[in-house]
Structure formats: C-alpha cells, structure tokens
Amino acid sequence: MVSLSKFTGLVLVPLCMGLVCCSFPVRTGYDRNIGDYKPVPASETATAQAASKPSETATQEPPTSQKSTSAVPDSAKKPLNSAEKARAAINKKETAKAAAKSTPRGSFESYARQWLGAKYGYAMATKTKTDCSGYVMQVYKGYYGISLDHSASKMYKDSRGKSVSRGSLKEGDLVFFGSLWKIDHVGMYLSGDRFIHASTSKGVMISPMHDKYWSPKYQGARRFR
C-alpha cells in the first residue's frame, strides 16, 4: 500500500499555485456584504476634479494698468537747444538742395528750348539776349549744375571735357566750330543729328549737323558729364 505521505507534497504544491495565480487584490472599499465596491463620496469626486483643473489665477493676465510700456510721452521729450535747432535747419536746407538736384527737369532738349527766339548779344547770357558761349553756359549750369567759362575756345580746352568722335555724339555734348587756328562757335548736340546754338544772325536756333555752312567748320566735340 502506497503511503499518502508520498503524494502529499505533489498535491499541495499545485493547489497552492492555483490559489496564488487565481487570487485578485482586494481594492479598498470592497464590501463583502453587498458583493461590490462602495460608491465614492461626492465630496471626494469634486475635490479630485478641482485638483485636475489648471489654476485660473495663474493664467489670468495682469490688469492693463499694471502693464509696463517703453513708449515715452511727447511731453517727456527733451526740447532742442539753439545749436541743435541751427544744425537741424542746415540739414533741412541740404536735404532740400539734394532733392532739387534729383528732381527730373524733363529732357535736355525741352530745357534748352526755353531760350529759343532769344536774340544774339555779344558777351551776354540771358534768356532774351545771349551769345553762343553764354547760352551754353546758362543751360549747362541750370540742367547739369556744371559751371563753364564764357568762352567757346576755353570750353574746348577745358581739361574736364572728354573728346568725343563724330559718330559717338550724345545729346548734351558740346560741338565746336571754327578753323584749325581758332574755335569761334559752340553749340549743344541734340538727337537726330542736330544741334542748338545762338547764331549771330538768328539768335538761339536749331540747325542740322550736316548744314552746308556749319558742317565744314566742325572741329570736334567734348563731353563734360
């Protein structure tokens, strides 16, 4: 007869393992009398919900009156003293001059035409009477801001002027006439192979470069711009 003591250990071990594996932890609040967990009190639920919500006080913006600003009121600006006012006035004048220079005056021809009809006057330079060099001198000063001598021969020799070939002439270039020994007339080149000048017979007028009188006298051109 086999002794039961031999099987006791074998039977008890699986039984214990089954109890361990099938047992469940008992949650706090379980009531064996009702066979279920006790309901959570309403006061505890409200407390938990309040704790989960972010604090409204932390997200609120500070009142408008407490916000800082870097703007300086006009009343706090420091008034200019006499020296600063003088400098400001000078800067204003210089700005106005620069703006005047950059302001378009229209085409060169339209500006030079303002003298059309002016009579010839030796050694004169006005819009009513002028000689050839006086006329060129006025137009260059007014349109380009370039000061030239009141003399055709001196304009021709002026080192600021760049020699220009006959085929490379551009509007505004100075064209000179005379002989190999003397420059005695000056005009200003216009598009279309023309030039505007003050002639002794007709005053300020426009003539073609191939004019039968002026073409043989042509001596060269200078560009000052």
Q: With DSSP H G I counted as helix, E B as strand and the rest as coil, what are the percentages for the chain, rounded to 5? A: 40, 20, 40
Three-state SS for 206?
A: strand
Catalytic residue among 16, 21, 22, 132: 132
What's the CA gap between 149 and 28, in Å, rounded? 114
The residue with tokens 């470069």 is 209
- Nearest-Å Rg of the Cα atoms of the chain is 52
185 is catalytic: yes
Residue 54's CB: how many other CB atoms inside 10 A?
7
Whether 196 and 204 have beta carbons less than 8 Å apart is answered as yes
197 is catalytic: yes
What's the CA gap between 217 and 179, in Å, rounded? 6
150 is catalytic: no
Catalytic residue among 21, 22, 150, 197: 197
Catalytic residue among 16, 21, 22, 185: 185
Task: Kindly state the tokens that stand for 111.
Answer: 């500006």
Would you name the residues annotated as active-site residues? 132, 185, 197
